[in-house]
Amino acid sequence: MAGGSLLTACASQVVPKGRVPVSLWFSYGGTNREVLEALVERFNRSQTRDFVQAVYQGDYFEGLAKLRTAIAARCAPVLSHVVGEVVPYLAEAGVLEPLADYPGVRELDLIPELGQERTWTSGGARPVCALPFNRSTPIAYLNGDLFAQAGLAAPRDWAELRAVAKRLTEPKAGGRFGFGCPINWWFWVALVAQAGGSIVAENGRISLGDRAGVQALGLWQELVRGGLMKPPPGRDYNAWEQCNQDFLSGRVAMIWSSTAFLKYLEAHAPFKLIAAPLPAGTKRAVPTGGTFWVVLRSAPSAEKAAAVRFLRFMHEPEQVITWATRTGYIPVTRTAVRMLEQRGYYAAHPNDRVALEQLAVAEPWPWSVDLFRIQREIVQPRLESAVIQQRDASAILAEARALALEPT
């Protein structure tokens, strides 16, 4: 039913006579939606061969659910973008079109850490089936006014994170928390890597970080228990939005969030906003995040070729620059970064450089078909209950590991 209603929505957009139609499903709203729709319009005006029909599908998880339904019903779009963790599942299911042999794809000059090559372990050895779109890293946002008043700098490690959060916490009623962070898989994965662990061991075992996973969860528990971190409300993007609002209103002095919110926070902060890299545990490390473009193998050949022409357009420097500078996402090609440097953009906007520089410590994701299921169904709800209800971190992750091994 969902797939049928969405195809009707696509059909309501009139394709000019003689053009090849490309149905594009996308997620997210607000400024990011406006920028994407403007780029789609730019492409449609730039030539007379193809015509992209962009249809909004809700947030990432709503969009993915609709895409899976449409694939099963054999009415999928030609082109979509999906979160990185689900790409291995879709690739191994055989529903994604290999892209490397289409004209121009091998010459896109992608930043390796943002493309398939280094986003996943052994990603470069696999057929190219995903091209980067809105890519990000988790970063810290600081209330620069509060930090300046207290004579503090961005914390460089977990010990400084604890100390800075304590200094900036005002415990009286109606006061302020020093730190805030959505209890989300992405940030937990960052903490696991900083503690020296990985969610999947080198031999393929689902480890969830073992001891490092417990330490990562324990840090959140400690900060919440000590009154230094605001108890996180909501789930998924509601939690992210609430965290942003707490920061903008001055209820929290420092938050972890995504590159994706940089321009929104800069535009709405009534104080000097400072973006900073995440602190180190035993080392510095972050995961990459965001989505990849995928072309569905079931689409007609002419429409797949047209979709790839649109993707080549989206990876041209001016489109990459427009997308990055208006949203805060990382430019996905080296050419775009060089042009921004030459234009003095990073000198004028140092916050934009933070996520780009963090790619030097980006950890690849495992190429695992079970990763998305483990994230959504097993780990995410247990992270929330561990922090909010202060459940034993070691026991709850042991429970999650056991469930991850059960056959689906």
Residue 238 pLDDT? 77
Distance CA 408, CA 394 (A): 24
Residue 179 scores a pLDDT above 70: yes
Tokens of 261: 């919110």
DSSP calls for 234-274: SSHHHHHHHHHHHHHTTSBSEEEEEGGGHHHHHHH-SS-EE
Distance CA 281, CA 158 (A): 6
pTM for this one?
A: 0.93
Residue 246 scores a pLDDT above 50: yes
Taking CA 395 as the corner, what is the angle to CA 392 and CA 396, rounded to the nearest 5 degrees? Answer: 80
Domain 138-286+370-404 fold is: D-Maltodextrin-Binding Protein; domain 2 (3.40.190)
In the chain, % of residues over pLDDT 70: 95
Q: Structural domain boundaries of the chain?
A: 2-136+288-363, 138-286+370-404
Q: Would the CA dihedral through 36, 38, 39, 45 be positive or negative?
A: positive
- H-state helical runs in 107-157: 116-119, 144-150
Residue 123 pLDDT? 93
Residue 325 scores a pLDDT above 50: yes
Lowest mean pLDDT, pick from 33-37, 143-147, 201-205: 201-205
Residue 308 pLDDT? 98
pLDDT classification of 407: cutoffs 50, 70, 90: confident
Residue 1 pLDDT? 34
Mean pLDDT of 113-139: 96
Distance between start and end Cα atoms, the chain: 25
Residue 172 pLDDT? 81
Judge whether 2-136+288-363 and 138-286+370-404 match in fold.
yes
Class of domain 2-136+288-363: alpha beta
